[in-house]
Structures are given as C-alpha cells and as structure tokens.
Amino acid sequence: ADTKKIAVIAGDGIGPEVVAEAIKVMKKTEELYGLSFEFEHGLFGGIAIDEKGTPLPQETLDMCKAADAVLLGAVGGPKWDNNPKELRPETGLLGIRKALGLFSNIRPAKIFDCLKDASTLKPEVLEGTDLIVVRELTGGIYFGDKFRREGANGEEAVDTCVYNVHEVERIVRQAFEIARTRRKKLASVDKANVLETSRLWREVVNRIAPEYPDVELEHVLVDNCAMQLLRRPASFDVIVTENMFGDILSDEAAMLTGSIGMLSSASLGEGAFGLYEPVHGSAPDIAGQGIANPIATILSVALMYRLTFGYHEAAQSIEDAVASVLDAGHRTADIATDRSKAVGTQQMGDLIVAAM
Amino acid sequence: ADTKKIAVIAGDGIGPEVVAEAIKVMKKTEELYGLSFEFEHGLFGGIAIDEKGTPLPQETLDMCKAADAVLLGAVGGPKWDNNPKELRPETGLLGIRKALGLFSNIRPAKIFDCLKDASTLKPEVLEGTDLIVVRELTGGIYFGDKFRREGANGEEAVDTCVYNVHEVERIVRQAFEIARTRRKKLASVDKANVLETSRLWREVVNRIAPEYPDVELEHVLVDNCAMQLLRRPASFDVIVTENMFGDILSDEAAMLTGSIGMLSSASLGEGAFGLYEPVHGSAPDIAGQGIANPIATILSVALMYRLTFGYHEAAQSIEDAVASVLDAGHRTADIATDRSKAVGTQQMGDLIVAAM
Ligand SMILES: CC(C)[C@H](C(=O)O)[C@@H](O)C(=O)O
Ligand SMILES: CC(C)[C@H](C(=O)O)[C@@H](O)C(=O)O
C-alpha cells in the first residue's frame, strides 16, 4: 500500500505512553499486512501551552492538515485548569475540531464479555449492549457567541446555541448510513418540546428519514434518553444528537460499559480524514508510571483503519488480538480484579502485538 | 392549625388517579394531626387545552397564586404532542413555573431498601444512595430567546442560554442550605470549560462557598457527572445545577433508583410556597386502569408538609406508612416482581392510609 501520513499528537498525562503502544501496533501491521506509515509528531494541549504558549500551535495544525489521519493521546491536567481561556488545553481541542472540520464524533460503547463485571450495571441488563453515539461536534452551544453583559439584574452571561439545516443534515445522514451497516436502528435525541434548535433538528431528521426506509427511527427526548440508557442499554443501536447532549450522553454510555479504558473514538469530517483518540482523559494522577491502559488508543487505531483507510483485515487482527489477550486473562490495573497481577502499559502493548 | 389552601391540578393521564390517593392521605392527616385543608381544583395541561383552548388558563393560575401550595398530578400525552407550541401541555408547565416564580426544583433520589433490586445497577453500588438534585428551573436555555433566521448557510435555529448573578446566587444558596441539613456535601455541576454561563455559575458558587465552611464543595463537569452518577451514586449528597443539565441529570439520578413511580419533587420560589408533583409522567398507556402507582404523589405530599408547612410529624407518618406498606410486601404493578399479586392505585392508597 502507499505510505499514509499519520499526525501524532500525544498530548499530556498518559497520552505519550498510550500513543507509543498504539504506534507499536501500527508498525506490526506494516509488517503483517504490507502497510506503510509515516509518523510525524506535534505538540498539542498542555505541553504546547508550556512550550509554545498556545494549546494549538500553527505548525501542529498544518501537520494535521497535511496528514491522512491524526492519532491523539489525551490533553489537559490540573496544571492548566485555571489558565485564561486561550491558554487552556480544551481550547485547543475545540480549535482543532473546528479547524479540521471534524463535525462528527463517533463513540462506540460495546461490552467486552470478559469485562462485563466491571460495569456498575447488572450483567443481565448489559447483555448485548453494542451502541454508537454519533455526536455533532462543531456546532451548537459550544461554538455560538458567548459573552458577558450588564442586564437589568446585574451582570449576566450568555451562550448561544445555533444550528443550521446543513449542519444537521450532514450529521444525521452520516448516522443513518452507520445505522444501515449495523442493526438498522437510529435514535435521534433532542429536546424538541423546549428548544428551537431541537425542533429544527427533528424536522431535518423527519425529512431525511424516508431516504432510509430500512432504518427504524425513534425520536427520544434527551432527559428520557439519559434514563433509557440505564434501563435498556442493549436496545440502542445508533444514537445521533447535537454537541452538548452528545457530550453528556456519550459519557454516560461509556460508563455503562464500566471500562472507559477500553473505548475508542473517531472524529470525522466530509472525506475519509479523521482524528482518532481514546475516550478516557489524560489521567495526570497515573501519568509516567507505566500503568495506563493502552487498549482504548490501540482500538482507536483499528477504528482509523476501518473508517479512514479501509484496512479492514488489519483492523480485525487488532481487535481480535485485544480480545484474545483479554480472554487470556491479562489486565491493566484499571480493569484488573487482582491489581497485583496487573500488567503495565508496555507489557499490554507487547502482548497485543504478540497476539496479532 | 389554620386552614391551608391547596390548589389541585390533577392534569392528564394517570394524574387524576394518583392525585386522588394523595388527597385521601392528606384528609387522613387532618384527622390524625388536626390539620385543615381546603382543596380547589383547576384545569391544566392537555385537559385544559381541550376544554379551555390553553394549557394554563388564567383562572388556574389565579387559583395557584391564591393557594398556599399546589399539588400537581401529571401533564401531557401523545394526543397533544403535535400541537403548535402554544397548545402543548409542556408550554403550560414552563408557563406555570415562570408565573409562580418557582426557580428551584428539588428532586430526591433515594433507594428504598426493599426495592433496590428494581434498579439496573448492582445493589452493592447503590448501597447508601440518597441524593437530591437541585435544579434551576426558570432560567437558562429554557427561557432565553429562541427563533429561526436565514443564515449564510440557509435556515438556522437559535436558542439563547442566559443566567444573571442573582439567578445563580439564589439557587446556589438554597442548595448550600439543603446540604447543611444533610451530609454537608455539595456538587456544583457545570460545563465551565466551554460555556460562559457555566463560568459565571462557577464564579458565583466560589464566591458564596466561604459562607458555608461546613459544607464540602466540589465542582463537577456535566459530562463527568453523568458518569459519576453511575459509578459512585452513593457519594453524592446534594447536586446543584442549571436548568438543562438538571433536566438530564435528575432523570438519570431518578432512573438509578429503578423505581421512578416512587419519586417525589418540589418546585419552590422565594417563600414557603411550593408546587409538588411526582417525577413520573402522565403514563397515558395505563391511564384509567386503576393500576398506577400513587406513592410518588403521596410522597410529594410529605415533601409539601416538610418544605411548605413545617408539618414534620405528619410528613414522617406518611413516609413511615409508605415504608411499612412496602415492607409488608405490597406492590403496584410497576414495582411488583409478581404482577399477578399487584395491588391497584386505590388499594395502595388505602393501605397507606391504614398504616398511618
Ligand atoms: C474537554 C471538553 C471541551 C470536551 C468536550 O466537551 O467536547 C470533552 O469533554 C470531550 O467530550 O471531548
Ligand atoms: C416536559 C418538559 C418541558 C419538562 C422539562 O424539561 O422541564 C420535564 O422534562 C420536566 O423535567 O419537568
């Protein structure tokens, strides 16, 4: 295969550690499947603030734009939490999403059979849970005007939530397409009984739905969805929703699985290009100790192979290797029942490479 | 005691059935504790749309304003779901909150020991869960300007989220006061890493916190809170948050208990006046069958006695009666493991009255 350019932004905390294992796995697939990657590394997040005075340096952005896909570790940490807005890691995160046009965030939440005891939910409730949250990522209240002003009752703060028809259409279509490749069920989540943006959202969904007669559509109010995820997680297939609701519901869905150290995500734009990252954060409390779980990042590579490159065979081999290593009983500390037997970050990476 | 005026708005679906049982319980407390109530009934929600052409008739509002407390059943149903906005039951709900100045919604989520198997969470995770969500109810994106406009990319919809310092102060103070009467822990939930209204919110919380040195404060991001509710529900005591986040998180917290038919709520303003209602909805699918669970509404009366009237002894007797009826094994269909042995709405009301 021709050489693919991968922009690697390891970021903060455990980011560099987990990304190193993901790259190890990618190199193994070069050997096994004749793939070829060129890795470029860039600064991003807290470390970029420290070294470059901005969470998203222009050269990092340029590197990402020139790449075929981006592999991201994690960003943030208490060190930068009280910085002014333009010097906070999350400002870089919002900035890179917007600058790369990544309007869609794909978050699979699937139960690994051998880990289902890790969940706080009863195993019989979780049985069969395998859902994807498709979250709109570059619109809504995240990106609308925000400001302070003097009101009649003193100082007030304002956030604006805006969606246009085009923004809703493209994400909803993508969700329908994904549902079509799966169990053919789509839950569109909104708050149409209160919000104008939700009413627009629902209109667009209803207008597009007839193009996908094979997909069963339900509209779910966001408060009800927060309940139903707990009550009947296995009944969901694909959930599509706007940015803020998606932030909340995708994290709730992730926690259902009980093993956030296992979950991957993809952020996509119009073409095949995508940014791939684990769902978990930078975990500053365990950074540098070599004990972080690299599986979420390794599975993000599998997602990259499937969604950006169409390397399905290599993706499958990664996913199978992860499953077989888990089945053999190997665990990092976060998912271990007996922490004294836990393997470290590198060891887990090595085990997965060996199983491929 | 002097006679208290209760405005009763039974509403739609199972509303009238559950409210009838709550009134039965109130009458029993008149007997037992020398209390005195005057009940006035008003139309509200779907039934008011049908009979008066508006979900919140002026006479109902006037009746509520003249009352000492409001007892609400439930509103809404598919019949009115596709009505234009001004003819939808939830428009009445938002209207009555605003018109009565009910800026605070109090939602306790507590596990009844004998019902803890009803939850989809593992019993050992739920153990000790006893939390209250304090939700801001008359501000934020619910009540800000909402409109459509032509944008550069076609039609767009806009919602505006606004909070002023005063609105945040009063709800946060109330939450601190409630925490003070309990386990003295307050979690303030926001999205301060993205929203300006959340940054204002957090500033106000931090400014007020020193007045409550006995209350332990934590700031939790809303996405993280959605996760932590699942992971460590018992660690929360009081959660305070803005309107939209509160809508989602209070429903998630309610579902944790597994028995939404048991949960009461209070909506409060500046004084002692309050509106009390069950957390569950109008359940049109089972309306008129006499099988709805009246306990949430009956417990809402206990909440009314405590928060509006200070009738603590009578409140306690209601709560104890409910517990003893449950302990004796009586169940309505929604919480029964053996539905064939389930008691009906009236029978449950009678059992509770008899146990008082
Ligand atoms: C860090 C924060 C700005 C971000 C978000 O809210 O989008 C994070 O929670 C996420 O979900 O990626
Ligand atoms: C019906 C709806 C407008 C309402 C709300 O969102 O406030 C309901 O969900 C609630 O929580 O009381």
Q: Is the pLDDT of residue B309 over 90?
A: yes
Q: Which amino acid is at A64?
A: C
Query: How are beta strands A104-110 and A130-136 bridged, if at all?
Result: antiparallel
Measure A247 CA to ligand 1 centroid, in angstroms: 7
Supply the pLDDT for residue A329.
94
Please, what is the average pLDDT of chain A? 96
Q: For residue B31, what pLDDT band results from cuts at 50, 70 and 90? A: very high
B343: DSSP letter: B
Cβ contacts of residue B217 below 8 Å, gap of 6+? B186, B187, B188, B205, B209
Which tens digits make up the pLDDT trace of A241-287? 999 999 999 999 999 998 899 999 999 999 999 999 999 999 999 99
Q: For residue A43, what pLDDT band results from cuts at 50, 70 and 90? A: very high
Q: Is the pLDDT of residue A339 over 90?
A: no
CA dist A4 and A27 (Å) reads: 12
Q: Which of B99, B142, B69, B132 is nearest to B264 (CA)?
A: B132
CA dist A141 and B41 (Å) reads: 41
Task: Pick the residue from chain A with its C-alpha nearest to B157.
Answer: A197
Query: What is the pLDDT averaged over residues A287-314?
Result: 97
- Are B3 and B68 a contacting pair, CB within 8 Å? no
Question: Ligand 2, residues B9, B93, B248, B275: which to mutate, most atoms within 8 A of Cβ?
Answer: B93
Q: Is the pLDDT of residue A1 over 80?
A: no
Which tens digits make up the pLDDT trace of A186-217? 999 999 999 999 999 999 999 999 999 999 99
Supply the pLDDT for residue B233.
97
Query: What is the pLDDT averaged over residues B203-210?
Result: 98
What domains does chain A contain, in order, with CATH numbers? Answer: 1-100+273-356 (3.40.718.10), 105-262 (3.40.718.10)
Instruction: Give the pair of three-digit tokens for residue A212.
Output: 């996908």
What is the torsional sign of CA B11, B15, B20, B26? negative
Instruction: Give the pair of three-digit tokens for residue A110.
Output: 């699937």
Which tens digits make up the pLDDT trace of B156-185? 999 999 999 999 999 999 999 999 999 999
Measure A287 CA to ligand 1 centroid, in angstroms: 20
Query: What is the pLDDT averaged over residues A285-293?
Result: 97
Backbone phi and psi for residue A216, each to the nearest 5 degrees, phi listed first: -85, 125
Q: Is the pLDDT of residue B1 over 80?
A: no
Rg (CA), chain A: 20
Supply the pLDDT for residue B153.
84
Any binding-site annotation on B201? no
Q: Which of A320, A302, A306, A304 is nearest to A356 (CA)?
A: A320
- Strands annotated E in chain B: 4-11, 37-41, 69-74, 104-110, 130-136, 146-151, 154-164, 185-190, 216-221, 238-241, 264-268, 274-278
Q: For residue B339, what pLDDT band results from cuts at 50, 70 and 90? A: confident
For residue A279, the number of C-alpha atoms closer than 13 Å in the C-beta half-sphere is 31
- Are B257 and B263 a contacting pair, CB within 8 Å? yes
Q: For residue B306, what pLDDT band results from cuts at 50, 70 and 90? A: very high
Please, what is the average pLDDT of chain B? 96
Percent of chain A whose predicted confidence (pLDDT) is above 70? 100
Segment (H or E) for B166? helix B165-180
Q: Which of B68, B98, B55, B59 is nearest to B5 (CA)?
A: B68
Task: Pick the residue from chain A with its C-alpha nearest to B224.
Answer: A251
Supply the pLDDT for residue B338.
85
Supply the pLDDT for residue A44.
98
Which tens digits make up the pLDDT trace of B219-256? 999 999 999 999 999 999 999 999 999 999 999 999 99
CA dist B185 and B166 (Å) reads: 23
Question: Ligand 1, residues A80, A247, A251, A276: which to mutate, most atoms within 8 A of Cβ?
Answer: A247
Supply the pLDDT for residue B37.
98
CA dist A202 and B210 (Å) reads: 45
Instruction: Give the pair of three-digit tokens for residue A98.
Output: 């917007």
Q: Which of B127, B102, B98 is nearest to B113 (CA)?
A: B127
Interface test with A, best of B81, B158, B235 (most A CBs within 10 A): B158
Supply the pLDDT for residue A308.
97
Segment (H or E) for A276? strand A274-278
Measure A94 CA to ligand 1 centroid, in angstroms: 8
CA dist A148 and A127 (Å) reads: 47
Q: For residue B259, what pLDDT band results from cuts at 50, 70 and 90? A: confident
Number of Cβ within a 10 Å radius of residue B310: 11
Supply the pLDDT for residue A338.
85
CA dist A322 and A259 (Å) reads: 14
Supply the pLDDT for residue B295.
98
Higher local confidence (pLDDT), A65 or B152: A65
Percent of chain B whose predicted confidence (pLDDT) is above 70? 100
B205: DSSP letter: H
CA dist B157 and A196 (Å) reads: 6
Enumerate residues 203 to 262 of chain B having a beta carbon within 8 A of any beta carbon in chain A: 222-224, 226-227, 230-231, 244-245, 247-252, 254-256, 260
Which tens digits make up the pLDDT trace of B14-26? 999 999 999 999 9
CA dist A287 and A18 (Å) reads: 10
Q: How many helices (H) and strands (E) does chain A have?
A: 12, 12
Supply the pLDDT for residue A157.
98
Supply the pLDDT for residue A127.
93
Backbone phi and psi for residue A203, each to the nearest 5 degrees, phi listed first: -60, -45
CA dist A161 and A308 (Å) reads: 30
Instruction: Give the pair of three-digit tokens for residue B32.
Output: 């037992």
Cβ contacts of residue B61 below 8 Å, gap of 6+? B96, B99, B100
Give SS3 for A121.
Answer: strand
Q: Identify the residue whose tokens are 């940015």.
A: A243
Supply the pLDDT for residue A179.
97
Full-model pTM: 0.96
Q: For residue B337, what pLDDT band results from cuts at 50, 70 and 90? A: confident
Supply the pLDDT for residue B351.
98
CA angle B299–B234–B127, rounded 5-degree value: 80
